[in-house]
Amino acid sequence: MDNREILEKIGQSDMVLAGLGEDFDGSAFLGQDERYLAGCGKLKEAGLHWLMPAWNEFCVEKSGDGSLEQAFERLEEILGGKNFFAVSLSTNRRAGGLRQVVMPCGSWKMKQCSGGCGGGLSEVTEQDRDRLWLFFEELYRGSLPKGNPLSGVCPQCGAALVLNNVYAKEYDESGYLEQWGLYRKWLQGTLNRKLFVLELGVGMRFPSVVRWPFEKVAFFNQKAYFCRVHEKLYQLTKELSEKGCGISKNAIDWLGEL
pTM here?
0.94
Q: Examine the pLDDT at 64 and tell me if it is beyond 90.
A: no
Q: What is the mean pLDDT of residues 39-62?
A: 96
Cβ proximity of 237 and 58 under 8 Å: no
Q: Examine the pLDDT at 89 and tell me if it is beyond 90.
A: yes
User: Cα separation of 21 and 17, whole Å?
Assistant: 13
Average per-residue pLDDT for the chain: 95
Q: What is the mean pLDDT of residues 20-41?
A: 92
pLDDT band for position 2 (cuts 50, 70, 90): confident
User: Cα separation of 121 and 225, whole Å?
Assistant: 38
pLDDT for the residue numbered 34: 95
Distances (CA, A) of 22 to 6, 156, 220: 22, 34, 27
pLDDT for the residue numbered 65: 86
- Look at the chain and report how many structural domains it folds into: 1
Q: Examine the pLDDT at 27 and tell me if it is beyond 90.
A: no
pLDDT band for position 231 (cuts 50, 70, 90): very high
pLDDT for the residue numbered 174: 94
pLDDT for the residue numbered 151: 87
Q: What percent of the chain shows pLDDT beyond 90? A: 89
pLDDT for the residue numbered 119: 87
pLDDT for the residue numbered 212: 96
Cα separation of the two ends of the chain: 12
Distances (CA, A) of 217 to 82, 98, 168: 18, 22, 30
- Across 33-191, the runs of DSSP E, i.e. the strands, are 83-88, 101-102, 106-113, 122-123, 161-165
User: Cα separation of 241 and 24, whole Å?
Assistant: 26
pLDDT for the residue numbered 29: 83
| Each residue's pLDDT tens digit, 111-147 | 999 999 988 999 999 999 999 999 999 999 999 999 8
Domain of 165 in residue numbering reads as 3-257
pLDDT for the residue numbered 84: 98
Q: What is the mean pLDDT of residues 180-185?
A: 97
Interior CA angle at 22 toward 223 and 258, to 5°? 55
Q: What is the mean pLDDT of residues 42-71?
A: 95
Closest CA to 88 of 66, 74, 72: 72
pLDDT for the residue numbered 128: 95
| Each residue's pLDDT tens digit, 189-214 | 999 899 999 999 999 989 999 999 99
User: Cα separation of 113 and 234, whole Å?
Assistant: 38
Cβ proximity of 92 and 107 under 8 Å: yes
Provide the 3-class DSSP secondary structure of residue 85.
strand
Distance of CA 113 to the CA centre of its chain: 22
User: Cα separation of 140 and 35, whole Å?
Assistant: 6
Q: Is 42 exposed, middle or buried (0-12, 13-18, 19+ CB in 10 A)?
A: middle
